[in-house]
Amino acid sequence: MAAVKGISQVVLSRNAIMAPGMLLMPFVMQAMERRAWFARRPALHGPFQVACVGCFLVLMVPAGCAIFPQSCALKTETLRKVDPGAYAELEARFAKNPENMPEVLYFNKGL
């Protein structure tokens, strides 16, 4: 369950990071190609696109990483329902003191 939650959040944030560059660059290039000085210099098209995508990434990487928190929480009850094997392992770990078993488990989802 933790893996599904973590991976889905990372996928969504990575899509948010790349979306502006992928969606806006065709419109930017179309507008730039209407300008005579840019249309006469096709050698500038590649470097211009790379520079624009770099600017998008500089702005979007911090925003994309901030969409979801780095650490996530998972209720122990949810773990019991979704992954009984992991819950049994948790119960075994707290067999001596079952009252100390946490209600919420925290994990680092990574990037």
pLDDT higher than threshold 80 for residue 99: yes
Every domain of the chain and the residues it spans: 2-66, 73-108
Q: Could you give the CA distance from residue 101 to residue 70 in angstroms, rounded to a whole number? A: 23
| pLDDT attached to residue 109 | 74
64 class by beta-carbon count within 10 Å (0-12 exposed, 13-18 middle, 19+ buried): buried
pLDDT in tens, 2-12: 778 888 888 99
Question: CA–CA separation, 105 vs 107, rounded Å?
Answer: 7
